[in-house]
């Protein structure tokens, strides 16, 4: 008989029908005469209750059915009275596919800390919390592609190995096949990368943007969605060394068009989650509520689903960096010296400032624009004031910066001047500058940090918990 997924059994199974289900045991409980096995196959947050008449099965078989074991069960579906589900299964045949030694299996039917589960990342998928997170993550990846496909964007696969540093921040992982013990040296005693695999120094990419711009200046509207790598030593709940980024790039878009797209994009993802991930979101909302109970009343956050609906149904606030600095300098925490980092025109905003604006002052997502040019990348559109650039950061509650983007400088001379000022090697970037030499035009784009967005949608607090196998400083297990 063909296996049926538990999600389908629970949704459309009919009492009286005999079916086969396969999955992993979440719990087994019962009495001398009857056992109840909660079986989960990952297709849904809900378990199939399997009712086992103890007398009809081998003792040793039943003894080996412990939490974590893999089973194939065939049985008759029946209306369920008590399990919270409409339908349950009365087992007629049970095959133990894989045992899980109860003394050794780390995932028990009790609450584990997220830290403990992080150390068991290969098994945390077996928990309700993580299976829900990864189903939601999948749904969001699908919704990203759907959004752009529906709009006629072309999905561009940009390289993971690159010789350029898009953000100019220099925090990159080197890719090399040279012998680390005795690399070839040039006359100056420096490593001679001309002898390396690619004949030059290469790194893992920090962004697909620069390559994306080339394609946008021909295909019109493109997006990338892939892994990016940053070797910054940031041990925070918002940073990964390997994370996924979505980077749309659009010809003939100015900064306003860019902001409009970003807002529409984020809302469409949230709507997709609310429409398609109800069970998982409800579970995650309940989880969050439990967690919030341990916090003082005034620090508790909104219910997860209410929060998602709130963002969906309200316009994002749009203000300039300069306006934001004024708000911050007039704020209570600034006057009472509660901010750890300085607030004055020219400094980069820290997470504490971003969160004050979003969570306390506006109580709404905020798009900040027109940042000082000295704290932003070389490629951003230079504003007429000579001080600011056409940048935009989207700030979200609990997260801070979720999107970074800008209109791009399309004027060759201005771009070259800025590159010189910022020590960006123009000779290595000739291919990029060609977009400004031949048929240059206004264009814009942004990058959404996928994991930061998943943090927001799932209500999780640590970015390590929304990626299957997190890579962070001093940690690359599994
Ligand atoms: O602001 P960033 O650095 O912008 C870029 O990379 C541009 N090239 C994007 C573009 O215009 N095409 O990064 C974009 C987003 C951030 O807003 C943040 O959400 C996320 O990427 N991000 C990280 N997420 C997790 N871990 C890290 N270390 C991250 N660094 C950035
Ligand atoms: Mg940024």
In the chain, the number of structural domains is 2
pLDDT at residue 141 is higher than 70: yes
- Identify the nearest ligand to the CA of 239 by its number: 1
* Residue 329 and residue 421 in one domain: yes
Q: Is residue 12 part of a domain?
A: yes
pLDDT, tens digit, 9 for 90 and up, residues 197-228: 999 999 999 999 999 999 999 999 999 999 99
Domain's final residue, options 84, 109, 134: 109
Mean pLDDT of the chain: 95
**Looking at the structure, do residues 225 and 101 belong to the same domain, yes or no?**
no
Cβ of 452 closer than 6 Å to ligand 1, yes or no, is yes
Whole-number Å distance, alpha carbon 210 to ligand 2 midpoint, is 15
How large a percentage of the chain has pLDDT more than 90?
A: 90
Using the atom order of ligand 1, give the atom closest to the CA of residue 452.
19
Mark whether 81 and 224 lie in a shared domain: no
Give me the pLDDT at residue 252, please.
98
* Residue 161 lies inside a defined structural domain of this protein: yes
Closest-lying ligand 1 atom to the alpha carbon of residue 206: 6
CATH number of the CATH domain containing 421: 3.30.930.10
Domain enclosing residue 369, as ranges: 126-171+206-465
Which of these ranges, 26-35, 145-154, 162-171, 334-343, has the smallest mean pLDDT? 162-171
The answer as to whether 84 is a domain residue is yes
Q: How confident is the model at residue 300 (pLDDT cuts 50, 70, 90)?
A: confident
Between 1-10, 105-114, 163-172, the lowest mean confidence (pLDDT) is in 163-172
Residue 367: inside a domain: yes
My answer on whether 210 and 266 are in the same domain is yes
Residue identifier of the C-alpha nearest atom 2 of ligand 1 = 404
185 in any annotated domain: no
Q: Determine, yes or no, domain membership for 423.
A: yes
Mean pLDDT on 317-334: 97
* pLDDT tier at 296, thresholds 50, 70, 90: confident
Query: How remote is the CA of residue 28 from the centroid of ligand 2, in Å?
Result: 48
Q: Are residues 62 and 133 in the same domain?
A: no
The residue out of 60, 78, 109 marking a domain boundary is 109
Q: Are residues 231 and 105 in the same domain?
A: no
Please state whether 374 falls in left (phi above 0), alpha (psi between -120 and 50) or beta.
Answer: alpha
Q: Are residue 88 and residue 225 in the same domain, yes or no?
A: no
pLDDT class for 83, splitting at 50, 70, 90?
low
353 CA distance to ligand 2 centroid (A)?
14
**Residue 144: inside a domain, yes or no?**
yes
Same domain, 330 and 275: yes
- Same domain assignment for residues 242 and 384: yes
> What pLDDT sits at residue 82?
72
Q: Is the pLDDT of residue 306 over 90?
A: yes
133 and 52 in a single domain? The answer is no
Atom of ligand 1 nearest to the CA of 463: 25
User: Which of 22-26, 79-83, 335-339, 413-417 comes out lowest in average pLDDT?
Assistant: 79-83
For residue 61, what is the domain's CATH number?
2.40.50.140
213 lines ligand 1 (CB under 6 A): no
184 confidence band (pLDDT: 50, 70, 90)? very high
155 and 73 within one domain: no
- Average of pLDDT values for 66-95? 92
Both 103 and 138 in one domain: the answer is no
Residue 179 lies in a domain: no
Q: What is the mean pLDDT of residues 434-451?
A: 98
Q: Is 403 in the pocket of ligand 1 (CB under 6 A)?
A: yes
């Amino acid at each position: 008989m063909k296996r049926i997924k538990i999600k389908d059994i629970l949704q459309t199974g009919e009492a009286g029908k005999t079916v086969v289900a396969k999955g992993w045991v979440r719990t087994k409980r019962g009495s001398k005469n009857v056992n109840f096995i909660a079986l989960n196959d990952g297709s849904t947050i809900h378990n199939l209750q399997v009712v086992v008449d103890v007398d009809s099965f081998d003792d040793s078989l039943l003894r080996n059915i412990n939490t974590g074991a893999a089973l194939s069960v065939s049985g008759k579906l029946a209306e369920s009275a008590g399990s919270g589900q409409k339908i349950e299964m009365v087992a007629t045949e049970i095959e133990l596919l894989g045992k899980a030694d109860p003394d050794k299996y780390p995932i028990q039917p009790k609450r584990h800390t997220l830290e403990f589960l992080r150390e068991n990342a290969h098994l945390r998928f077996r928990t309700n919390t993580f299976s829900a997170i990864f189903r939601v993550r999948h749904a969001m990846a699908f919704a990203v592609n759907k959004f752009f496909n529906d709009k006629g964007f072309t999905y561009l696969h940009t390289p993971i190995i690159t010789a350029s540093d898009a953000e100019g921040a220099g925090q990159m992982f080197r890719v090399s096949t040279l012998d680390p013990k005795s690399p070839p040296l040039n006359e100056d005693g420096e490593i001679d990368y001309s002898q390396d695999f690619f004949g030059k120094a290469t790194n893992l990419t920090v962004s697909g943007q620069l390559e994306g711009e080339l394609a946008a200046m021909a295909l019109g509207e493109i997006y990338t969605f892939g892994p990016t790598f940053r070797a910054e030593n940031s041990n925070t709940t918002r940073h990964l060394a390997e994370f996924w980024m979505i980077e749309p790039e659009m010809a003939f878009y100015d900064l306003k068009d860019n902001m409009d797209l970003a807002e529409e994009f984020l809302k469409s993802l949230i709507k997709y989650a609310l429409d398609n991930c109800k069970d998982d979101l409800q579970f995650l909302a309940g989880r969050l509520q439990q967690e919030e109970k341990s916090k003082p009343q005034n620090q508790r956050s909104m219910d997860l689903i209410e929060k998602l609906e709130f963002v969906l149904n309200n316009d994002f606030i749009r203000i300039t960096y300069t306006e934001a600095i004024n708000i911050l300098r007039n704020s209570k925490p600034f006057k009472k010296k509660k901010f750890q980092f300085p607030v004055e025109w020219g400094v980069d905003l820290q997470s504490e400032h971003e969160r004050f604006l979003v969570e306390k002052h506006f109580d709404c997502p905020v798009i900040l624009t027109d940042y000082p040019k000295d704290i932003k990348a070389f490629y951003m559109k230079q504003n007429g004031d000579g001080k600011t650039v056409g940048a935009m950061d989207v700030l979200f509650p609990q997260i801070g910066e979720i999107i970074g983007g800008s209109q791009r400088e399309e004027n060759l001379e201005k771009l070259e001047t800025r590159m010189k000022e910022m020590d960006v090697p123009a000779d290595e970037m000739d291919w990029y500058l060609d977009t400004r030499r031949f048929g240059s035009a206004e264009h814009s784009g942004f990058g959404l940090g996928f994991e930061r967005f998943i943090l927001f949608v799932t209500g999780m607090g640590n970015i390590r918990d929304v990626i299957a196998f997190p890579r962070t400083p001093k940690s690359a297990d599994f």
